[in-house]
Structure 1
Amino acid sequence: MKKILKRYRGFLIVLIAMLLLTAINYDLGTKALGISLNSIGEMLLIIPPVFILLGLLDIWVPRETMVRYMGEGSGLKGILLAFFIGSAAAGPLYGAFPVAAVFMKKGVKFSNILIFIGAWSTTKIPMFLFEMGSLGSRFAIARLLIDIPGIILIAYILSKIMSREEVEKMYENAKNMD
């Protein structure tokens, strides 16, 4: 029982805070509860398909293929593939992290994983199309042309300033997630 309480203490603290908020200000508490339930509902709609696709990726794509196309010696091909996969992805950013963990298990180069996460968060195709329609093509293209080198630069800076031990520990943790 203690182990369960320790594991879910963050959730329990937030739940108690929500109950206290509701007791103090009923309208605000019910609004906060509604927003929380809506967020949980959205996550329950997104997470199962992501995990199904991850399972298929894990089984269908051999490690050697991932290493060849996105591993240490992949060069420009790995960068472009990381951008394409990240830009074509659907869903919120928290969906990218399980994919990144599978990429780590498959031996994808760390900088390519960072590029993938950066592309997922900034260069999604639907977002680009929305910006073209709403903010104009000049803005959308300018933002994209600034973001792409920025993502690559940030990925390479992060991969250089992180110690080899930290990166290896992340890869090891990803392998142990089975």
Structure 2
Amino acid sequence: MKKLKKYRFFFILLFGLIILTFINQSLGWKAIQLTGNSILDMLFLLPPVLLFVGLLDQWIEKETLIRYMGSKSGIYGTLLSLLLGVVAAGPLYVAFPIAALLLKKGASIRYIVFFLGVWTIAKLPVIVYEFSSFGVKFTLIHICFGLFFFYIMGIIYEKFYDQRQLLEYDVTKEI
């Protein structure tokens, strides 16, 4: 029963999807199809990412990562976070295993928050799309304000959260 309780949110959503299908069949089938496509996308994206994260875990020494992304790394941490986020590909949920690995290896919370923010607003495909669709002025304003915001948020998070506290946090207790 305890295992079923962990998945109660999933069952509630599944039940809601079934109810929706009974109420409005066409909308329900579209929702089921969209859900299935999203699950398939995730199943094709996550295994290579998790393999990559496992390889990075073995290849990158903890001391090296602390030197370049630790709390005393200075501009190197910012630039490395910026580079990792800009060259990223894929949706944001792909970035979380990488961020968890960086946290485990000793990267500063500031740079992890900044990395996730850069992944969100300044990936190369997003930049190219914004340049072509909205113009240079909008894109530069959007990216500059976004980078500034996420860097400041990283500093604030670093003040409130301890690295060990985040590593010990168990998400399943909240569900």
Aligned to 2:3: 4
| Amino acid paired to 1:56 | L
Normalized against structure 1, the TM-score is what? 0.89
Q: 1:122 to 1:43 in 2, by over 3 A?
A: same
Extract unaligned runs of 5+ from structure 2: 171-175
How far does residue 44 in structure 1 lie from its aligned partner after superposition?
1.1
Render the CA deviation track for 1:59-107: whole Å, top value 9, x for unaligned.
1111111011101210111011011101211111111111111011100
Aligned to 2:27: 28
Aligned to 1:120: 119
- Give the Cα–Cα distance (whole angstroms) in 2 for the partners of residues 19 and 134 of structure 1: 39
Aligned to 2:167: 171
- Give the Cα–Cα distance (whole angstroms) in 1 for the partners of residues 21 and 146 of structure 2: 42
- Give the Cα–Cα distance (whole angstroms) in 1 for the partners of residues 32 and 101 of structure 2: 33
Q: Percent identity?
A: 40
Q: Secondary structure at the match of 1:74?
A: coil
Normalized against structure 2, the TM-score is what? 0.90
Residue pairs, 1:29-48, within 5 angstroms: 29-48=28-47
Extract unaligned runs of 5+ from structure 1: none
- Give the Cα–Cα distance (whole angstroms) in 1 for the partners of residues 161 and 18 of structure 2: 43
RMSD of aligned alpha carbons: 1.6
- Give the Cα–Cα distance (whole angstroms) in 1 for the partners of residues 103 and 21 of structure 2: 43
Aligned to 1:141: 140
How far does residue 36 in structure 1 lie from its aligned partner after superposition?
0.8
Show structure 1 runs of 4+ deviating over 3 A. Answer: none
Render the CA deviation track for 1:109-156: whole Å, top value 9, x for unaligned.
111111111111111111101111121122212222222222211211
Aligned to 1:152: 151
Q: 1:155 to 1:88 in 2, by over 3 A?
A: same
